Amino acid sequence: MYTILVVDDSPMIVDVFVTMLERGGYKPITAYSGEESLEVLKTTIPDLILLDIMMEPMDGWETLEHIKSNPRTKDIPVLMLTAKPLTPEEANEYGVYIADYILKPTTHHQLYDAIEHVLEHRHSISADIERAKSAGVDQRTIDEYERLSKSIDINKRLLKILETTYNIKDAKAGMGENITRAIKSMAMSIKFQEERLQQIREQFSEVFGEG
């Protein structure tokens, strides 16, 4: 059973997520502020964190930075929760740290799908890494494979959210051109990352004798 830490300063929202998670067969633990979540993480390492963005006094982004700067907790996948549209700046600044971005309100199926996708993707990457280590692939290549695999997965998700969010907004609202440029830049970056990841996968195949 996976343990999931729910962090939100609204007790009502926490209760909703706890009920959804219990129904899905997960073991939820709770924190009602960013500060409280950091205290919980001193004694408990969950399999995944659901972290609300709009909290006070420490918001979700600041809490995320604390989690990712701590060697004990930096590898825990974090799914950000918010009812506020994602901005290109947030996607660019925090995309490297998060595993997914869930818009509230969410359904049971959307929540379960997001959690399972993240956990299964992590397991798949770990299996590939162990196999590569056993085959004698150098550590720098393995580290790059892990970084790119995680980065491409979340950036594709963030790009889709940005495209959906700003597609329905008025392009003449002042920031339209900047947003369009940011989305195109993000798409190009993903393309380059995917090309590099494919090269590494081909190296792995050669080492594994699959080529």
- Quickly state the pLDDT bin for 210 (edges 50, 70, 90): low
CATH topology of domain 1-84: Rossmann fold (3.40.50)
The pLDDT of residue 173 is: 53
Task: Over range 105-127, report the average pLDDT.
Answer: 94
The pLDDT of residue 211 is: 52
Residue 15: both structure tokens together = 């209760």
183: left (phi over 0), alpha (psi -120 to 50) or beta: alpha
- Quickly state the pLDDT bin for 179 (edges 50, 70, 90): confident
Buried residues in 62-88 as b, exposed as e (16+ CB within 10 A): ebbeebbeeeebeebbbbbbbeeebeb
Q: Average pLDDT over the chain, rounded to whole?
A: 92
- Quickly state the pLDDT bin for 181 (edges 50, 70, 90): confident
Distance of alpha carbon 68 from alpha carbon 94, whole angstroms: 11
Is 211 or 77 the better-scoring residue by pLDDT? Answer: 77
Nearest to 6 by CA among 55, 60, 52, 38: 52
pLDDT over 90 for what percent of the chain? 75
Contact 37, 66 (CB under 8 A): no
